[in-house]
Structure 1
Amino acid sequence: MKGNIMKSEKPNKVKDFFEKKKDALGLQVIGGGEGLNREIHRAVIQRPSFLLTGYAEDFADKRIQIMGKTEMRYLEKLPKKRILEVVSLLFSYNQLPAVIISKPDESDDFTRTISIMEKIADEKKVPLIMSTCSTEELFTQVTIYLDILLAPEQSIHASMVDVYGVGMLYTGAAGIGKSECALALVERGHRLVADDIVMISKRAGEVLLACGVEGAGHFLEIRGVGIVDIEKLFGIGAIRLQKRVEIEVHLELWKRGKNYERIGENPPKTQYFGVEIPKHTIPVSPGKNITAISEVIAMNHMLRVYGYNSAREFFNRTQEGQRRLEITEEYLATDRE
């Protein structure tokens, strides 16, 4: 059963970003300090190059703006009046989160431009931040931070296990055996990510990432036994903090007359946040080894990743065998010796 999409409860104000990354990025607020409570709306950042030339159409004003050496050198060459006009335009957007200036070269002198920017940032109450990092490093570090901060999240009732390096999400009705399956997999050397409540978030690059509820640890609820601590029982090597979701395994009671997948050339798909992943529905019945089936699903998935499709190969061999049989029969039919 899929849960509801949750709005991230992580702090997403500029001051939270500043406090979190000020040491790593060498950040210093040099203007607009009263605007540190502005919210960050987008995980994408940009350089306002076109805006600085006066072209303001389709300007993405909800993004953090990065002023690199190119932008600052361009402004420094402009007359003071023109710098005032351009910077005033940049800071005039009400939803602008912040402007960050990257590290200049030793030969650069942006004193005049920065002085103007500081004054306008204070007037508009838009944070103006200086960094000791290069533009490229700023883009990388800020993008990674915002991608995690603003990632949409969804909580589902499930178990998540790393099986042979493949992230497998186990879903199904309460009591179907998800936790028991996870326990059996851990006993066979695989790694538990989360049980009962799994948080799924979408990251850049169409990646689904799963983890447990913060602070919940790696506990399993086994009906008839109670709560067990996987980390204490099996050691640190039996757990993971997070894992990419690559396959959903849906467990359900075996239903007479239902057609379950028997070939598997193209497994059905399911999706979270628009990202599709294979979904295998496994009927549960007494004596069925779900653990072994899980390992086969994981290894078969890796074969597909490397370009090998077992079902397709089976069909190809069957067709080749049939073709060879027809050739043989035709030869024998005309053989008179």
Structure 2
Amino acid sequence: MPKVRTKDLIEEFQLELICGKEGINRPIKTSDLSRPGIEIAGFFTYYPAERVQIIGKTELTFFETLEDEQKRERMLALCTKQTPCIIITRGHEVPSELIEASNMTDVPVLQSTMKTTRLYSHLTNYLESKLAPTTAVHGVLVDVYGVGVLITGKSGVGKSETALELVKRGHRLVADDSVEIRQEDQDSLIGSSPELIEHLLEIRGLGIINVMTLFGAGAVRNYKKISLIIDLEIWDQTKNYDRLGLDEEKVKIIDTDITKITLPVRPGRNLAVIIEVAAMNFRLKRMGVNAAQQFSERLMSAIDIGATEK
């Protein structure tokens, strides 16, 4: 099913439908927009017909200089089977030639009172958000000290219990069990919860709890940028775990690489505290303070001094 249709724009931006009502269910497949000035001038070789077309004062002023027959030809050429809609900005009067072409092709013609540049900006942001690549992962997303931490691991390893402890310590739950992720920018992943389980946390033996009801509105948030992945796994005696933190593992989600830390789970380990420290350490690294690197440099310096003294 298409994520966005023309009728969604009408509702979101309070646009007035002038004509072409039969086409308001047309899908919008790209966030790119078009201001068809060069097309109105007669050059249609590279006309991006699949984009939302925005016509402002500049295009309309030039359009009025054309001959009547040219006006009809250009507007009919603008209205194709792929065109989602044509929007006239600033409340300008819709040309009769465009209404005629719309009635022939069922392309919705909409009118907005907003300035062209502002509408263009708002439409781009809206469409990029709605049409962003999406995926879903099994895990828990928590906002820890401003860092979006995605906690993953096999079922029953203790993800939800760790998230509950983090919420009790003042952090905020975003999603439990299923995390919906959309890539808004090249390096920006935004995680949120499915509407059905929003603000809910499942604790084995206790059942479903509503975090917002129990801990207040300050204990939840609707979405958060994912910056760090912490993978919980049962402690394996035969596996060598990173003890210095010099090697940074990356995991690709959609088209974005996210830092991943593997935390072994065994009785006696306070995972909530460790995740808090991991989030704080991640922020320090972003600020240029790398404790592991500093230790490595001091160690190498001590080895060099020792070798020199010999």
Same fold (TM over 0.5): yes
Is 1:51 equivalent to 2:39 in the alignment? yes
1:250 CA displacement: 0.8
1:288 CA displacement: 1.4
1:298 CA displacement: 0.7
Is 1:72 equivalent to 2:60 in the alignment? yes
Is 1:98 equivalent to 2:85 in the alignment? yes
CA distance in 1, matches of 2:33, 2:242: 45
Q: Is the 8 A contact 1:10 1:149 kept in 2?
A: no
Greater mean alpha carbon deviation, residues 80-89 or residues 155-164: 80-89
3-state SS of 1:78 partner:
coil
CA distance in 2, matches of 1:277, 1:324: 38
Partner of 2:301: 320
Distance 1:47 1:89, change over 3 A: same
CA distance in 2, matches of 1:81, 1:308: 69
CA distance in 2, matches of 1:253, 1:43: 44
Candidates 145, 150, 167, aligned match of 1:169: 150
1:313 CA displacement: 2.2
Candidates 274, 286, 290, aligned match of 1:309: 290
Distance 1:138 1:266, change over 3 A: farther
Is 1:34 equivalent to 2:26 in the alignment? no
CA distance in 2, matches of 1:304, 1:217: 32
Unmatched runs of 5 consecutive residues or more in structure 2: none
Percent identity (aligned): 39
Within 5 Å, give how 1:127-206 maps onto structure 2: 127-206=108-187
Candidates 224, 228, 233, aligned match of 1:252: 233
Partner of 1:333: none
1:154 CA displacement: 1.9
3-state SS of 2:95 partner:
helix
Partner of 1:16: 8
Aligned length: 310
Partner of 1:243: 224
3-state SS of 1:265 partner:
coil
CA distance in 1, matches of 2:45, 2:233: 54
Q: Is the 8 A contact 1:34 1:122 kept in 2?
A: no
Distance 1:315 1:100, change over 3 A: same
CA distance in 1, matches of 2:233, 2:211: 25
Q: Which amino acid aligns with 2:46?
A: D
Q: Which amino acid aligns with 2:190?
A: L
Within 5 Å, give how 1:219-238 maps onto structure 2: 219-238=200-219
Candidates 77, 80, 91, aligned match of 1:89: 77
C-alpha distance after superposition, 1:258-287 (max 9, x if no partner): 232233234111122111111111111111
CA distance in 2, matches of 1:57, 1:306: 50
CA distance in 2, matches of 1:297, 1:262: 13
3-state SS of 1:55 partner:
coil
1:205 CA displacement: 4.7
Q: Is the 8 A contact 1:157 1:197 kept in 2?
A: yes
Q: Is the 8 A contact 1:102 1:130 kept in 2?
A: yes
RMSD between aligned residues:
2.0
TM-score by length of 2: 0.92
C-alpha distance after superposition, 1:23-45 (max 9, x if no partner): xxxx2122222211211111222
3-state SS of 2:22 partner:
helix
Distance 1:123 1:298, change over 3 A: same
1:216 CA displacement: 2.2
Q: Is the 8 A contact 2:149 2:227 kept in 1?
A: yes
1:149 CA displacement: 2.2
Q: Is the 8 A contact 2:22 2:106 kept in 1?
A: yes
TM-score by length of 1: 0.85
Q: Which amino acid aligns with 1:284?
A: V
Distance 1:258 1:15, change over 3 A: same
Is 1:293 equivalent to 2:274 in the alignment? yes
- Which of the two has higher C-alpha Rg? 1
